[in-house]
Amino acid sequence: MDPKAEIDKLTEELNEHCYRYYVLSDPIISDAEYDRLYRRLEELERRYPSFKRADSPTHRVGAPPLEGFKTVHHRVPMLSLSNAMDAREILEFDSQVRRKIPPEEKLQYTVEDKFDGVAVSLLYVDGVLELGATRGDGFKGEEITENVRTIKSIPLRLRGGRFDGTEIEVRGEVLFLKESFEALNEERIKKGEPPFANPRNAASGSLRQLDSSITAARPLTFYAYGIGAISGIKLPETYWELTSWLKEWGFNLSENLSLVEGIDKAVEIYNAASQARHSLPYEVDGLVIKVNSFRLRDALGFRERSPRWAVAAKFPPVEEITTLKEIRLQVGRTGAITPVAILEPIDIGGVTVSRATLHNEDEIRRKGIKIGDRVVVRRQGDVIPAVIAVVESQRDGSEKEFIFPKECPSCLSKLYREEGEAAYRCLNPLCPAKLEARIAHFCSRGGADIEGLGEKIIRLFVKEGLVKKTADLYRLKEDDLSKLPGLGEQSAKNLISAIDKSRTIRLSSFIFALGIRHVGSRTAKALAAQYKTLDALLSARKEDLESIPDIGSETAEEIVKFFSDPAERENINEMLEAGVKIVEEGSFQKGRLE
């Protein structure tokens, strides 16, 4: 047979067997026969590399390691979903939908699992996988094309039709099946490597490997749940029809996918699923309820960060009992002191929990918490686990009262508690722990999003005196970093590259990154939408700020106070002089997925 024809035949045959094995769970040949065909294809591709196809299954073993991840700007933002925490809030979602559509409209919903994995985007051009990207902050993520190519349940070429002249962005979740996750951890323990805490962290870490052969060695899977940007093909009228297309194209779908008339049936499915969630082969933390009609979705539109036509119906929180071994104090970026419970590690809903917040001194006293107590710990979704009660019946008299310290655990400065506030604060502007927390906040995903700059490295920077304020990050050199203990030339190069990448930043992200007291992501976006530029915000008056929805007198006062501080103004000016460029909100949303 002609070599090109044989390569084409083997590629299509092996992709079909891969689909039957990893998506349909219905193989029709033995592993040995698959391996024989695969080896023959590898041999031919080595001899005739120009005939190797973009959808060849040999791409799944990984590619040469990358130096870093490229930034991808999503043509259609990958928005998050608003939450419904119980059946009552699901009904309220339905009421909000109905208020915005004509009363005679027939309203159908789809219901599917809310996977607890990593959201990714897959771009197919002419039916062939061309680009994979993480969700990131919803507007920009990281390119992980070589990594997603290694996931065997992701088709390298769409099945079931002709796709010439099309661009189709499929969105879904990368995750570990429970069984695969347990096997992976067993293997890591045998090798003397630390086990992953939970499937979600394992999936995230596996996707963010610069060496895709590491990703290839981990049994990840993919479930599709929607479409992003699309051209050259007309969408069907409903999401339910689209799920048939996704299945035909070769994707896994939620095992609990349903179409219902009206919200009552959706609530019934939610109640049943919350009891049966642990029987699923993958981790879920709720259901997603969506309006089925695309026409009605267009009419309903979007909020700032989420669509009005969908809701994430979260399952009730999971609670377990464990022992509180110790209470440590954590210093936040504003100097707030938070007591943290150090727990006997306990599995809560598939996640190993060893720390939980105790909020403040008043909460410790109100709940009567003592060191050594058996306590009830609650975890729900992404919320930090919390100690919600003491199991007093299990006390044996060995428990010890916790006396809240009067000095900062980091700099030993006296702690202060303002009237009407629950938290003690360290007011020392040179407190190392405050500086570390502030830099960590600046570098976080909602802020400057500096990849690889974690707590340990930040602590090292502060200890060595390299960073005394956030502006110092943009003055670091490779030579400065490569000499630090634990950091080699490549690590230093990667960090400098990540810092350089963060020099262009949206106004809302920059405002959030500054760490102004009471200013979270939502308030930062409101300020950016109102003032458009940093210069305009710097001169904002308290009374003007108070006119913005959701910004009260206390928050307005903190904003004015922050921007009136000469040290803060100097830090901002130094960042701008170091090349930080603040762009308008829309800038990251334009353009294709590239």
Whether the CB-CB separation of 52 and 58 falls below 8 Å is answered with yes
Q: In which region does residue 420 sit, left (phi positive, over 0), alpha (psi from -120 to 50) or beta (all else)?
A: left
Query: In 541-557, which positions are buried (b, 16+ CB within 10 angstroms) versus exposed (e)?
Result: eeeebeebeebeeebbe
> Could you confirm whether 581 is annotated as catalytic?
no
CA–CA dist 200, 350 (Å, integer):
10
128 — phi, psi (to 5°)? -110, 135
* Beta partners for residue 356, in sequence order: 341
Active-site hit among 70, 106, 114, 542: 114
| Alpha helices, H only, 235-346 | 239-249, 263-276, 294-300
Single-letter amino acid, residue 82: S
Single-letter amino acid, residue 437: A
* Beta partners for residue 224, in sequence order: 172
526 — phi, psi (to 5°)? -65, -40
Q: For residue 190, with 0-12 CB atoms within 10 Å meaning exposed, 13-18 middle and 19 or more buried, which class applies?
A: exposed
Task: Decide the pairing of beta strands 310-314 and 83-84.
Answer: parallel
Q: Which residues have CB under 8 Å from 106's CB, separation 6+?
A: 261
* Beta partners for residue 329, in sequence order: 339
Q: Which residues have CB under 8 Å from 149's CB, separation 6+?
A: 59, 60, 63, 129, 132, 156, 212
Three state DSSP letters for 148-189: HHCCCCCCCECCCCCCCCCEEEEEEEEECCHHHHHHHHHHHH
Residue bearing tokens 């996977």 = 115
Q: Which residues have CB under 8 Å from 290's CB, separation 6+?
A: 109, 110, 112, 239, 297, 309, 310
DSSP 432-466: HHHHHHHHHHHHSTTTT--TT--HHHHHHHHHTTS
The residues annotated as belonging to the active site are: 114
